[in-house]
A = this chain, B = another copy of it.
Amino acid sequence: MFITFKKYISEKTVLSDRDWAIIKPLCIIKKLRKQQYLLQEGEIWKYHAFVCEGCLRRYSIDEKGIEHIIQFVIENWWAGDRESLANETPSRYNIDAIENSAVLLIRKDNFDIICKKIPEFNELMNTILQRSLNASQLRIEAAISFTAEEKYLHFIKSFPNIANRVPRRMLASYLSITPETLSKIKNQITKK
């Protein structure tokens, strides 16, 4: 598990063995069974979380009890609730595992220590934050610009590796359409 993380970081920046000696003891590996929560609404999120293996989803639940999936997170991406983490406020999100998964956790305080001691790490994390923002912007654009069919086509084009791993109804939730509509759209497309 840890090796996945090390590989991920090493592809983006160069850290010394000494750096890794700082990082490694502060990492916690957590295995999640399918359906298991990583974070539940109302909790205060305290970690930076890197997904080594598996697939998670982050979602909110509205007053009608309907789940709205904000994000899927697969291996080599970061999970968690940055807002709750930064402001120390109760999270409005749930995060749970869609597949059996393994997550690498670093407590916020330890994470900050690493960032202070290792400027390259700090820099990389800012780059990643920047990328998250870019991804969010694309998601906003898709959500406000596309029809149901366009949203689906855009998604399978952008994330083919996620599309075939998540249940259809969850994909529908992510795309903000009903499972029935998604089913019909898929049907129409294959006819063409």
Contact = CB atoms under 8 A, between A and B. Distances in A.
A145 B93 CA distance: 13
Nearest to A151: B144
A133 B141 contact: no
Contacts of A82: 130, 133-134
In the assembly, how many copies of this chain are there? 2
Contacts of A132: 133
B141 A140 contact: no
B70 A137 contact: yes
Contacts of A176: 143-145
Contacts of A66: 145
A68 B136 contact: no
A156 interface: no
Nearest to A174: B144
A68 B137 contact: no
Interface in A122-155: 126-127, 129-130, 132-134, 136-137, 139-141, 143-145
A119 to B, nearest CB: 11
A38 B126 CA distance: 26
Interface string A109-124: 0000000000000000
Interface of A: 60, 62, 66, 68, 70, 82-83, 86, 126-127, 129-130, 132-134, 136-137, 139-141, 143-145, 174, 176
